[in-house]
Amino acid sequence: MGLQFSGPSSSFSTANPSSNGKLPPPAIQRLSSSSTPNKRKLRVILIQLFGVFFLLSWGLYPFLLNNEGLTTRLHLNPVVEALLPQSHDKALSSLHVNEKVHVGNDETEEEDSSKVKEAYVTFLSSIKDENYLLSTRLLMFQLLHDPLTVDKTHSRDIVIITTNEINQETEDMLQDEGAIIQKVDYLIDGFILPNQSQHEESQQQKSNNNHWKDQYTKLHIFNLTDYSKILYLDNDVFLLKSLEDIWDSENSEIPFGLGGIGERSKQNYVESDLRIEPSIYDNNAERDYLNAGFMLIRPDQELFENLTKTRGYKPFYMEQALINHYFDWEGDHPWTPLDTKFVSHYPKVSDMKEGYYSLHAKMWKDPVDGSVKAAWREGVQRMNDFWHWQRII
């Protein structure tokens, strides 16, 4: 009697041939042949899942954040990297999106609404020179996203004041990149223009000076009363590190509503469209002439109205001349001097090593050292890379 397997799982027997006289193929062979397609399917599924995971990881990496950000080394020009403080090295290894995450209930929202509201503000009145738009976007990127310079509190708005010269497409792009757009009317009537007295204002002179209306319109920053305090930055300010320190810095109380950094002394005041750095003699003098491209302001409607009525100043620098006249140190409401390291109005290579927070110059055309311009170009490249990845997703 032959050997015979039986049981619920048995499927063949050595003693029972099939009707055609041949033994059926072993069950194990049948199992093997039927499982091969399943294994292939499983391998295909695993490969597809791995591919999806890889693509998601590659495409979404800017969002994979923790407190340190994503550790992917950014390339810097060796000259620029050598100039930056070593403390920046760790920050350079991450580039991330800083999202404001809303968490909480209605009670939390009530508490938040009662807190002090602050903002960074800049002014964009024309994009005929596209570098002004580029530098505005760079400033916004540095405040919101660049790990070297981001305000890590993520609590302050970025406001861009615009005029009718800025088209809707540009405003939409700035909003998409994180700005709050505040469109304003030109401040035109009654202001003194360069090379004319208060009583000698003609329509012909107005039409020959297209820049003056932009300058006086900047005074709207003093009327942003939705905010308890703002830091106004010309859009050509380039950041070296985060400006979040300024909000609680020495003298940040600004009792008369304005704080800033002096550019030169009034006794050595120079009227020129060229960037003329103060002489060595001026460096030893008290810098009581404020540069209006970097100002800590406490907005107030009455203050704004007083400024628009101010007259009696030399108008060569227009709104800057007006502001210096109203907030004169010898007057009733002197401006408050802040730490000079917050901005260098005449950027030098040494500023990048000596702890300055920002540099103020039109890097694309002002006579600035090549190493400083290289740092600015590196910042532009980081911004372009960042938005390139954002738009791929």
pLDDT value of residue 105: 43
3 found inside a domain = no
> Are 39 and 83 in a shared domain?
no
pLDDT value of residue 287: 76
> Are 273 and 385 in a shared domain?
yes
> Are 196 and 338 in a shared domain?
yes
341 found inside a domain = yes
**Residue count of the chain:** 393
pLDDT value of residue 57: 59
> Are 142 and 189 in a shared domain?
yes
> Are 41 and 149 in a shared domain?
no
Of 104, 127, 129, 128, the residue nearest 115 (C-alpha): 104
Check: CB of residue 340 under 8 Å from CB of residue 261.
Answer: yes
115 found inside a domain = no
At CB < 8 A and 24+ separation, what contacts does 83-89 make? Answer: 83/349, 83/352, 83/353, 83/371, 83/375, 84/148, 84/240, 84/352, 84/375, 85/353, 85/355, 88/148, 88/241
> Are 295 and 257 in a shared domain?
yes
14 found inside a domain = no
Please tell me the distance from the alpha carbon of residue 272 to that of residue 314, in angstroms, as a whole number: 13
> Are 58 and 168 in a shared domain?
no
Owning domain of residue 82: 78-97+129-392
Please tell me the distance from the alpha carbon of residue 121 to that of residue 221, in angstroms, as a whole number: 8
Residue by residue, pLDDT tens for the chain (393 residues) are 444 434 444 443 444 444 455 555 554 444 444 556 676 777 777 777 777 666 665 555 444 443 434 333 444 555 455 555 554 555 544 454 444 333 334 444 444 555 579 999 999 999 999 999 999 999 999 999 999 999 999 999 999 999 999 999 999 999 999 999 999 999 987 888 886 544 344 444 444 445 567 899 999 999 999 999 999 999 999 999 999 999 999 999 999 999 999 987 666 666 766 666 666 545 556 778 899 999 999 999 999 999 999 998 888 889 999 999 999 999 999 999 999 999 999 999 999 999 999 999 999 999 999 999 999 999 999 999 999 998 887
pLDDT value of residue 123: 97
CB atoms within 10 A of CB 341: 16
Q: Strand 258-264 vs strand 336-337: parallel, antiparallel, or unpaired?
A: parallel
> Are 273 and 369 in a shared domain?
yes
Please tell me the distance from the alpha carbon of residue 161 to that of residue 182, in angstroms, as a whole number: 5
**Whole-model pTM over 0.75:** no
93 found inside a domain = yes
Check: CB of residue 158 under 8 Å from CB of residue 180.
Answer: yes
pLDDT in tens, 313-369: 888 889 999 999 999 999 999 999 999 999 999 999 999 999 999 999 999 999 999
Q: Total domain count for the chain?
A: 2
pLDDT value of residue 198: 40
> Are 48 and 187 in a shared domain?
no
> Are 39 and 88 in a shared domain?
no
Q: What share of the chain is helix, strand, coil (3-state, %, to 5)?
A: 40, 10, 50
123 found inside a domain = no
> Are 45 and 166 in a shared domain?
no
pLDDT in tens, 49-86: 777 666 665 555 444 443 434 333 444 555 455 555 55
Cα–chain center distance at 347: 20
Of 390, 256, 386, the residue nearest 323 (C-alpha): 256
Tokens of 374: 């290289």
Please tell me the distance from the alpha carbon of residue 111 to that of residue 152, in angstroms, as a whole number: 21
The CATH number of whichever domain residue 233 belongs to comes to 3.90.550.10
pLDDT value of residue 212: 63
pLDDT value of residue 85: 52
